[in-house]
C-alpha cells in the first residue's frame, strides 16, 4: 500500500528497536547483556501499584478519571516544591508519556517550515517529531571537547527566524547535566530572542556528583511565559510501561494541546493516573527515588571507568540520566568480529551479533563517533557486558 510521504521518511526509533531486539534475544534464550534500554531495571514502587489497583477495583475505569484534577494539582504542587515554579493545575496536561507531550507540542507550536534549534547529540525522537509537524531541525553541535554542551552564543547565532529551542538536561544520550550557572547563561541568550523553549526534564531526579538540578523556567521570571516544561514518571519512578508524562506551560499552549488531545488520545489510562497521584503525593517516594539514584550513580561511575580503561575508548563521566556516550571512533577502520567497522552502526551491530552486547549506535543521536550505553542494569551485567566489549575492542 502507498503510505503517506509524511510517514515514509520516518525511520523506526533506534532506541526502541535495539531495546526490543535485546528483549527478544533474551526471551529466546540468548545470553544478551543489554545496555540498550533507556529504562530503569527497578520495578515500580509497591505503593504506586497499590494505589492503582485500589483505583481499578473501585471503578475508576471511565474517561476523565476520578483522579485527573487531583493529579494536575499534585503536579503543580511538585513544580512549586521541587522546582520553584508557580503554576496552576489548569496549566498542566497529563499525557501518554513525555514522548507524547513533546509530540503534542510540536504539532501545536509548529507551522510548516518553522525552525527548531536542537543541541546535538540529541534524543533520537526530537528531529522526527519536528519533521512530522512540518518543522525543520537546526542542529546546534556540541562535541566531547565542549563537554557535549552548547554555548549561549550558538543560540544567539542561530535564533534569527527560529521559533523554538529544545533543551534536555540531564541529556539523553550524553549523560551530561548543565550546571545552574551554565543554564542561566543559556537563559540570558534565550531572553535576547523570541524563542519558545521546550525543556525536557524527564531525567530530573537522576543527577550525580555535586551537580544540582534547576528547572529552566525557574531561572528568570520572564521565562515561564515562553517555556513549556516536560516531565514524566517513566524514569523517576521506574514506570516506563505505564506511559505517563506531562507538560506544564502557558495557558494558550495548554489549551491547544488539550484540543488536539481531545481528538487524538482523550486521556491517559484512568486508573494509572491514580498511581501517578500516589507517586507525587506519598511521603515514601523521596526515599525510594534516592535509593535508585544512589544505585545508578555507583553504576554510572563504574561503567565510565571501565570503558575509559579500554584502548581507544574515551568516556566522559555521567552527571545525570543513566547513559554514557563514549567516543569509540579510534576503532573505526579496524576489523572486529570479522566486520570492517566504518562507524557506530557497524560497531553496535558487531557488539550485538558477535559479543551479545546491546548498545545503541551514536549516529541516530547525531554523533557517529560515539555509542550509547545505558547503565540501568545490575553491576553484574555491567561487568559481564564490559568484559565482552573489552575483549571485542581489545
Residues in contact with ligand PMP, shown as a per-residue x/- string from 296 to 325 under the rule CB under 6 A: ------------------------------
Q: How far is the CB of 246 from ligand PMP (least distance, A)?
A: 9
Q: Is the dihedral of CA 383, 387, 393, 394 positive or negative?
A: positive
Q: How far is the CB of 252 from ligand PMP (least distance, A)?
A: 23
Contact call for residue 205 and ligand PMP (CB under 6 A): no
Contact call for residue 172 and ligand PMP (CB under 6 A): yes
Of these, 34, 168, 215, 381, which contacts ligand PMP (CB under 6 A)?
168
How large is the C-alpha radius of gyration of the chain?
21
- Dump the DSSP string for 116-183: EEEEES--THHHHHHHHTT-EEEEEE--GGGTT---HHHHHHH-TTEEEEEEESS-TTT-----HHHH
3-state secondary structure 41-95: CCCCCHHHHHHHHHHHHCCCCCCCCCCHHHHHHHHHHHHHHHHCCCCCHHHEEEE
Beta bridge partners of 140: 119
Q: Is the Cβ of residue 299 or residue 306 nearer to ligand PMP in the bound state?
A: 299
Of these, 245, 249, 300, 366, which contacts ligand PMP (CB under 6 A)?
245
Q: How deeply is 298 buried, as exposed, middle or buried, from its count of CB atoms within 10 A (0-12, 13-18, 19+)?
A: middle
Longest dimension (CA), the chain: 61
Q: How far is the CB of 23 from ligand GLU (least distance, A)?
A: 12
Q: How far is the CB of 360 from ligand GLU (least distance, A)?
A: 7
Q: How far is the CB of 106 from ligand PMP (least distance, A)?
A: 13
Q: Is the Cβ of residue 246 or residue 271 nearer to ligand PMP in the bound state?
A: 246
The residue of the chain with the least Cβ separation from ligand GLU equals 38
Q: Which does 345 bind (CB under 5 to 8 A by kind): ligand GLU, ligand PMP, none?
A: none
- Each residue of 226-253: b (16+ CB within 10 Å) or e? bbbbbbbbbbbbbbbebbbbbbbbbeeb
The residue of the chain with the least Cβ separation from ligand PMP equals 97
Q: Is the Cβ of residue 125 or residue 158 nearer to ligand GLU in the bound state?
A: 125
Q: How far is the CB of 90 from ligand PMP (least distance, A)?
A: 22
Contact call for residue 213 and ligand PMP (CB under 6 A): no
Choose among 186, 232, 240, 243: nearest CA to 205.
232
Q: Which does 253 bind (CB under 5 to 8 A by kind): ligand GLU, ligand PMP, none?
A: none
Query: How close are the terminal C-alpha atoms of the chain, in Å?
Result: 47
Residues near ligand GLU, by CB under 6 A: 13, 15-16, 38-39, 99, 125, 172
Q: Which does 13 bind (CB under 5 to 8 A by kind): ligand GLU, ligand PMP, none?
A: ligand GLU
Contact call for residue 366 and ligand PMP (CB under 6 A): no
Binding site for ligand PMP (CB under 6 A): 38, 97-99, 123, 168, 172, 200, 202, 232, 234, 240, 245
Amino acid at each position: 500500500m502507498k503510505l503517506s510521504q509524511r510517514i515514509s521518511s520516518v525511520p523506526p526509533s533506534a532506541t526502541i528497536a535495539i531495546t526490543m531486539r535485546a528483549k527478544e534475544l533474551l526471551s529466546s534464550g540468548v545470553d544478551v547483556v543489554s545496555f540498550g534500554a533507556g529504562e530503569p531495571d527497578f520495578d515500580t514502587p509497591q505503593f504506586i501499584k497499590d494505589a492503582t489497583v485500589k483505583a481499578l477495583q473501585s471503578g475508576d475505569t471511565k474517561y476523565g478519571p476520578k483522579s485527573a484534577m487531583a493529579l494536575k494539582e499534585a503536579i503543580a504542587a511538585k513544580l512549586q516544591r521541587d522546582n520553584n515554579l508557580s503554576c496552576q493545575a489548569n496549566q498542566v496536561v497529563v499525557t501518554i508519556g513525555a514522548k507524547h507531550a513533546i509530540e503534542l507540542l510540536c504539532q501545536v507550536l509548529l507551522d510548516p517550515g518553522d525552525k527548531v534549534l536542537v543541541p546535538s547529540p540529541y534524543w533520537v525522537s526530537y528531529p522526527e517529531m519536528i519533521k512530522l509537524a512540518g518543522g525543520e531541525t537546526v542542529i546546534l553541535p556540541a562535541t566531547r571537547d565542549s563537554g557535549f554542551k552548547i554555548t549561549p552564543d550558538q543560540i544567539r547565532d542561530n535564533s534569527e527566524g527560529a521559533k523554538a529551542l529544545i533543551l534536555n538536561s540531564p541529556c539523553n544520550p550524553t549523560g551530561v547535566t548543565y550546571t545552574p550557572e551554565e543554564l542561566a547563561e543559556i537563559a540570558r541568550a534565550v531572553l535576547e530572542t523570541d524563542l519558545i523553549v521546550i525543556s525536557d526534564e524527564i531525567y530530573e531526579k537522576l543527577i550525580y556528583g555535586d551537580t544540582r538540578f534547576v528547572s529552566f523556567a525557574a531561572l528568570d521570571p520572564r521565562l515561564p511565559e515562553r517555556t513549556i516544561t516536560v516531565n514524566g514518571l517513566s524514569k523517576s519512578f521506574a514506570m516506563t510501561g505505564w506511559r505517563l508524562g506531562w507538560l506544564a506551560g502557558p495557558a494558550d499552549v495548554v489549551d491547544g494541546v488539550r484540543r488536539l488531545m481531545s481528538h487524538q488520545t482523550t486521556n491517559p489510562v484512568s486508573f494509572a493516573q491514580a498511581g501517578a497521584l500516589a507517586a507525587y503525593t506519598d511521603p515514601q517516594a523521596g526515599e525510594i527515588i534516592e535509593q535508585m539514584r544512589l544505585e545508578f550513580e555507583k553504576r554510572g561511575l563504574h561503567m565510565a571507568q571501565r570503558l575509559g580503561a579500554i584502548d581507544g575508548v574515551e568516556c566522559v563521566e555521567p552527571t545525570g540520566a543513566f547513559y554514557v556516550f563514549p567516543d569509540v571512533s579510534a576503532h573505526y577502520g579496524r576489523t572486529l568480529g570479522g566486520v570492517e567497522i566504518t562507524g557506530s552502526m557497524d560497531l553496535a551491530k558487531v557488539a550485538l551479533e558477535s559479543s551479545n552486547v546491546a548498545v545503541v549506535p551514536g549516529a541516530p543521536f547525531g554523533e557517529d563517533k560515539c555509542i550509547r550505553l545505558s547503565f540501568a542494569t545490575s553491576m553484574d551485567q555491567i561487568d559481564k557486558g564490559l568484559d565482552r566489549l573489552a575483549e571485542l575492542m581489545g
